[in-house]
Amino acid sequence: MSNPANDQSVPQPAGIVERLVRDDVDRKRFLKMAGSAGAASFGAFVLAACGSSSKTASTAATTAASTSSSSSTGDLAILNYALTLEYLETDFYRGVVASDFFTGKVGGLIKEFGSQEMTHVEALKGAVEKLGGTPVTAPEAKFPIKSATQVALLAYTVENLGASAYLGQAPHIQNAEVLASALAIHSVEARHAATLGTLVKKSVTPDGAFAVPADMSTVLAAVKPFLA
């Protein structure tokens, strides 16, 4: 993950977000560091995860601290986190469409949702690049696709999780354009979830009058079983 304020900074390793999802120890380290020291700690964590020397990591931490007034690094972390989730949703819908479990209007709706998730992927990749970062690569997924009923319920769960994930990160986003983009995607995720709720006869507002945000640790733990 690069910092546009320092072209010599070490770029984010492509699989760092996926690694956070897979590795409980790395995830706990990340969440602790992000909560206590923000962007500067995240930069040091990335280097440590890559196996950099302690001297290099120390130098990078000092550099990150000197530019902590910039919001780009923290926003890049959130964007790549969101991008990972969108990759997974896109892969899920691709598998659902290929299953041919749904036809007619419902089948068309599923294809539309999948197309919109792909659009989210492209938009988030563009946002990461605009801030001078490197988009994470798509993780390999393994969604269970067994029957129309099972898939519809899973889609309802996935979309609600996505909406909660965006809502959970909204207070941490500092760039106004990034925040606007995140909220625009959050709105669509919530509408997907509500539509699917009607399809599977579940509540379209499962949390009542106010949606409940999900923090990063909760979301990463929830998606971990879907990684190949």
Per-residue confidence (pLDDT) for residue 142, from 0 to 100: 94
Q: What is the mean pLDDT of each run of 10 residues along the chain (228 residues)?
A: 42 51 59 43 36 45 41 86 97 96 96 98 96 95 95 97 97 94 96 97 96 95 93
What's the burial of 180, exposed, middle or buried (CB within 10 Å: 0-12/13-18/19+)?
Answer: exposed
What are the residue ranges spanned by the domains of the chain?
Answer: 16-66, 72-226
Q: What number of other Cβ atoms are within 10 A of residue 205's Cβ?
A: 12
Distances in Å between the Cα of 187 and the Cα atoms of 55, 145, 226 are 44, 26, 24
Per-residue confidence (pLDDT) for residue 194, from 0 to 100: 97
**Largest interatomic CA distance in the chain:** 60
Per-residue confidence (pLDDT) for residue 23, from 0 to 100: 67
Render 53-95 in DSSP notation, one character per residue: -HHHHHHHHHHHHHTTT-SHHHHHHHHHHHHHHHHHHHHHHHH
Per the confidence metrics, is the pTM higher than 0.95? no
Domain 72-226 class in CATH: mainly alpha
